[in-house]
Amino acid sequence: MPMLGSLGTILAIVLVFSVLVFVHELGHFLFARRAGILAREFAIGFGPKLFAFKPGETLWTIRLLPLGGYVRMAGEEPETTELKEGQRVRLLTDEAGTVTRIYTDASTRPDEGFEVVVRRADFERGLTLVAEGPDGESLTFPVSPKAELISRGEALMIAPFDRQFGSKTLGQRFWVLFAGPLFNLLLAAVIFTALSLMNGVPKAEPEIGFVVPSSPAAEAGLKPGDIIRAVNGKPISSWEALQAIISQNGTVPMTVDIERDGREYRVEVAPKPVIYIEALTHTSQIELVPGDEVVAIDGTPLKSLNQAQALLEQARGKEVTLTVVRDQNRTIDVAYDLGKYALTLGETERIGVSQARDHSVIAAVINGPKETLLWIERIFAALGMLFTSHNPLNQVGGPVAIFKLTGDAAERGLSTLLFWTALLSVNLGIFNLLPIPALDGGRLLFLGIEAVRGRPIDQAKESLVHLIGFALLLFLILIVTWNDIQKLFLG
């Protein structure tokens, strides 16, 4: 059932991306604060500021383009708090004579402070300001480590060297960079845990949770709660073992020993063949996944794999409608374009039962991290397939595809939207760890080089590499985005 209208879908998309970005940047921010690094700005989005507030040292902003975010830390870029010799400024000091504010223009609070001419300023190590007073005398002022330079009403705090990113140990810098992707993986684990609480965790033991009406299992009298102990006299200890023996058995009737309410029963069940999706290349959708049972193609009920393959052959180059089975025998119709994407169907045997689920908190807490690790493995496997694919662009999606899929997930309900958010969070975490310049993984690579050579790489050279990497990354995003537009709207 759709849960949102078009406006709600847009809001859901914005909310999902904002949460993913916020959690990622929060990881960087918290570990930067823990290391004593000055975080100048915590931004959600890029471009012009829509909203900003500054409760402490950090300026918190929401910007126009919701395509990312950043934490701007002191020392990552050349500092802009320098004063030039001969520059006229006004100083505001505390009772001890320590400079707390420096006004660099005449229009900002002209009644505050006293005017001097700067001769030398050290805001990184010495924290002193040498100036010429009104009568030409030389004056030396201590500068507060939290002093602010104020120009046109905008305040910028100075950053002593011990509060800059580059002053920290390799370990501290590693955790600051690694924390963003780590927090995305932790977010995914939390969401998977919540989904496990909502939907339950499939039990490992062969206990029946649902019986499909009119299926072989229903006709044999199997019921939810039955525990399958043996098939054809062979003991069954897990759901996977049950699936394997049914598949190996074919359509031959088999004897099934079950336990129900402490008593044992024996029934005969004849598995029936079902058609399922074995593989598909259309990755810019979430309606179909490998393993889905297909019961009809373009409204024609399926009776055999040969028939299904013949129907796909007749529809080659066209769009077909696949009717697939969802939980508890619910079916949905999904359009699939055979002109652009490949689809492989397979045949196996099933009896029409699904696993029982454990709704306990302990099971959910254990399953959340396990599900996250499972998807990490799948993502790395998919990354490996990019190098063997004939058309890798069809295997990836850019912002357009991701926005569309997020909207599709929102329309399919809260559970689907949460699941998709968790997948996006895992993907964001893994993607940012790739050793690509401008990404967290690229910066971690430079830390590794620094650890090996015993000294850091020149900041200007590293910044140039990241700039080039960022430009190439933007170029790749443009290519993938255009490919998405062609696939989704111009095809």
Q: What is the CATH number of the domain that holds 296?
A: 2.30.42.10
216-245 in b/e burial notation, b at 16+ Cβ within 10 A?
Answer: bbbbbebeeebbbbbbeeeebeebeebbeb
Residues marked as catalytic? 25
DSSP 8-state assignment for residue 456:
P
Length of the chain: 491
Q: Which long-range contacts (CB under 8 A, 24 or more apart) does 466-472 make?
A: 466/437, 466/438, 466/442, 467/438, 468/437, 469/436, 469/437, 469/438, 469/439, 469/442, 470/437, 470/438, 472/437
Token reading at 347: 């045949």
Token reading at 311: 């129907």
Q: Are residues 284 and 349 in the same domain?
A: yes
Q: Say if 175 falls within a structural domain.
A: no
Q: Are residues 369 and 339 in the same domain?
A: no
Q: Are residues 380 and 473 in the same domain?
A: yes
Q: Are residues 219 and 251 in the same domain?
A: yes
Q: Say if 424 falls within a structural domain.
A: yes
Token reading at 172: 């501290």
Q: Are residues 291 and 349 in the same domain?
A: yes
Please report which helix (H) or strand (E) contains residue 275, including its range.
Answer: strand 272-280
Q: Are residues 378 and 483 in the same domain?
A: yes
Domain boundary among 235, 269, 303: 269
Domain boundary among 158, 191, 210: 158
Cα 445 from chain centroid (whole Å): 21
Q: Say if 2 falls within a structural domain.
A: no
Q: Say if 127 falls within a structural domain.
A: yes
Q: Are residues 410 and 294 in the same domain?
A: no
Q: Say if 347 falls within a structural domain.
A: yes
DSSP 8-state assignment for residue 41:
E
Cα 226 from chain centroid (whole Å): 39
Domain boundary among 353, 386, 401: 353
Across the beta sheet with 234-235, what order do the strands follow? 234-235, 227-231, 254-260, 263-269
Q: Each residue's pLDDT tens digit in the chain (491 positions)? A: 444 457 777 888 889 999 999 999 999 999 999 999 999 999 998 889 999 999 989 999 999 887 789 999 998 876 667 899 999 999 999 999 999 999 998 888 888 889 999 999 999 999 999 999 888 899 999 999 999 999 888 888 999 999 999 999 999 999 999 999 999 999 999 999 999 999 999 998 999 999 988 889 999 999 999 999 999 999 999 999 998 899 888 889 999 999 999 899 999 999 999 999 988 877 556 678 888 899 999 999 998 999 999 999 999 888 899 999 876 667 888 888 888 788 999 998 899 898 899 999 999 999 999 999 999 988 888 777 666 666 655 556 667 777 777 887 787 788 889 999 999 999 999 999 999 888 999 999 999 999 999 888 888 888 888 888 888 878 877 877 777 676 666 55
284 close to 487: Cβ distance less than 8 angstroms: yes
Cα 86 from chain centroid (whole Å): 50
Please report which helix (H) or strand (E) contains residue 404, including its range.
Answer: helix 399-411
Instruction: Work out how many domains the chain is built from and give that number.
Output: 4
| Residue 117 domain boundaries | 88-158
If phi > 0 it is left, if psi is from -120 to 50 it is alpha, else beta; for residue 340 that is alpha
Which are the contacts of 102, defined by CB distance < 8 A and separation ≥ 6?
83, 89, 90, 91, 92, 129, 147, 148, 149, 150
Q: Are residues 263 and 277 in the same domain?
A: no
Q: Say if 419 falls within a structural domain.
A: yes
